Amino acid sequence: MGEEGTGGTVHLLCLAASSGVPLFCRSSRGGAPARQQLPFSVIGSLNGVHMFGQNLEVQLSSARTENTTVVLLVGLEELTNIRNVERLKKDLRASYCLIDSFLGDSELIGDLTQCVDCVIPPEGSLLQEALSGFAEAAGTAFVSLVVSGRVVAATEGWWRLGTPEAVLLPWLVGSLPPQTARDYPVYLPHGSPTVPHRLLTLTLLPSLELCLLCGPSPPLSQLYPQLLERCWQPLLDPLRACLPLGPRALPSGFPLHTDILGLLLLHLELKRCLFTVEPLGDKEPSPEQRRRLLRNFYTLVTSTHFPPEPGPPEKTEGGVYQAQLPRACYLVLGTEEPGKGVRLVALQLGVRRLLLLLSPQSPSHGLRSLATHTLHALTPLL
């Protein structure tokens, strides 16, 4: 259950479905972790609402007041058939970093789009070749290179991971405190919800990590440091070039119009995306505001204009095709006058959808042309 109270505080509360015992409560205020916790009386009241609905065979999804939202989340079987509550509470602590990152003001967007946050390295083919060789030497098909929670390169096996694990695994790595190496048990919500796999991570440079998904072998000692140094020491310069890609997503020098304050490019078939609000240095509004604007605009256009996934037009019983879906839309916040407010434009061509946040200097009549030109420039990258 989650409660969003006054002052921008968000509480995520998880209760045992049968007993109502609190398993954990995580809080966020203004996008950062908060120490404020829900009083036990509030927890009891929320559980009472849940139990009342359950007894009537009604699933309560949300309840709202003027300044509060209460949301119920349904967990897996392990969270409903609990044998040892204290043991489960201890095990759930391993998820706190990931949970806190969802509650906070993340620089990623995969939680909303269900697409993997990616970046485009300057020497992608060289890194991809090295990654494939390392995966073969390590004896696993599931390897990726991740910078600040975004995928730089990955093996074919890694890209075949289903949703949501393909989104969650790099997000998890980006949320954890820095460590030279990790051997981390993970359950895959789609592929293996009951049997844990091992997520091995090896730090190449600060915020740049190798991630391997494997079974009982190989041992971490087999990979670090000998195999790691042999495969990656010759590529230090291409690896260093990946470090600025965390916030920017695109290689330095990639030609973007100076009016672009942020962009979101989605490949709806591959389930991958590029997201940045720092393409051309510092301007107003702030990066946090830009992220919020683009996230809200994505929600708007996905729910009202564009379907979640591309598909052919459907034929009605009378043999007449339905009206075509729109290919572009734009939103002006503030005023139409140049130099005031901001502009948002969305364009969909085939399996790609592009959302742009533009400065107030960008004239409304040129938004579609600018978006089309930008999408054509980005298409070879994703």
Over residues 279-335, the pLDDT tens digits come to: 766 677 888 899 999 999 999 999 888 865 555 555 555 555 555 667 888 888 876
Question: Are 163 and 220 in a shared domain?
Answer: yes
Q: State which residues of the chain have pLDDT below 50.
A: 1-7, 72-75, 78
Asked, for residue 167, whether it belongs to a domain, the answer is: yes
- What percent of the chain is modeled with pLDDT above 70? 80
DSSP 60-71: --EEE-SS-EEE
Cβ contacts of 254 within 8 Å, gap of 6 or more: 120, 377
pLDDT value of residue 354: 96
How many Cβ atoms from other residues are within 10 Å of residue 204's Cβ?
20
Q: How many CA atoms lie within 13 A of 341 on its CB side?
A: 13
Chain position carrying tokens 């009604």: 58
**Residue 266 backbone dihedrals phi, psi, to 5 degrees:** -120, 135
239 and 203 both lie in a single domain: yes
Token pair of 180 as six digits: 């030279």
As to burial, measured by CB atoms within 10 angstroms (0-12 exposed, 13-18 middle, 19+ buried), residue 270 is middle
* Contact of 155 with 146, CB cutoff 8 Å: no
For residue 28, what pLDDT is reported? Answer: 73
Closest to 227 measured CA to CA, from 218, 214, 236, 215:
218
User: Quick one: 225 and 334 in the same domain?
Assistant: no
- Domain end: 104, 133, 151, which one? 104
User: Alpha-carbon distance 382 to 370, whole Å?
Assistant: 18
Distance CA 373, CA 382 (A): 15
**Distance separating alpha carbons of residues 347 and 355, to the nearest angstrom:** 7
Chain length of the chain: 382
Number of folded domains that form the chain = 3
Quick check: helix, strand or coil at residue 119?
coil
Residue at a domain's end among 104, 130, 155: 104
pLDDT in tens, 231-263: 999 999 999 999 999 888 998 889 899 999 999
Q: Does some domain include residue 5?
A: no
Based on the fold, state whether residues 225 and 335 are members of the same structural domain: no
- Residue 127 and residue 220 in one domain: yes
The three-point CA angle 98-71-104 to 5° equals: 30
Q: Is 40 found in the same domain as 137?
A: no
Range of the domain at 352: 260-305+326-379
Which candidate, 267, 268, 265, places its Cα nearest to that of 256? 265
**pTM higher than the cut 0.85:** no
Confirm whether 111 is domain-assigned.
no
- Strand positions, DSSP E, 66-220: 69-71, 116-118, 142-147, 150-154, 181-188, 192-205, 208-214
